[in-house]
Amino acid sequence: MKPLLSVKNLKVYLHTKGDLVKIVDGVDLSINRGETVGLVGETGAGKTVTAFAILGMNFLLGFQDWCYVSKMKSQLSFCPQTVVLSA
């Protein structure tokens, strides 16, 4: 079966003043149709940047919606871990 999503050697680098910061470096990921996958890791490990890159979003601009559904006919979605509670 062909994967719904296949990512090989994903890299996201940020150029700063005279430096190159490797935010995500060499991520491989394969998701088959019908699978649910959670991306877990320590704070600052690159989970959000990885999701943004896969969905074609610019992580430097942030996000406004609670969930972003990709252009792939709603087959992929990203829900940030930030939770806002209202009184």
pLDDT (0 to 100) of residue 16: 84
Cα–Cα separations (whole angstroms), residue 39 to 10, 36, 65: 14, 10, 19
Is the residue at 37 inside a domain? yes
Positive or negative: CA dihedral 67, 34, 55, 60: positive
Structural domain count of the chain: 1
Asked if residue 36 is part of any domain, the answer here is: yes
For residue 87, is it within any domain? no
Q: Which residues pair with 6 in a beta bridge?
A: 30
pLDDT of residue 73: 46
> Per the domain annotation, does 85 fall within a domain?
no
Which residue range(s) make up the domain with 22?
Answer: 5-78
Q: Is residue 40 part of a domain?
A: yes
pLDDT digits (tens, 9 = 90+) for 10-55: 998 888 888 888 989 999 999 998 888 888 888 888 888 888 888 7
For tokens 């150029």, what's the residue? 15
- 83 located within any domain: no
Confidence of residue 77 (pLDDT cuts 50, 70, 90): low
Question: Does some domain include residue 10?
Answer: yes
Closest CA to 41 of 29, 31, 33: 29
pLDDT in tens, 48-74: 888 888 877 776 655 544 444 444 445
Specify the pLDDT at position 41: 87
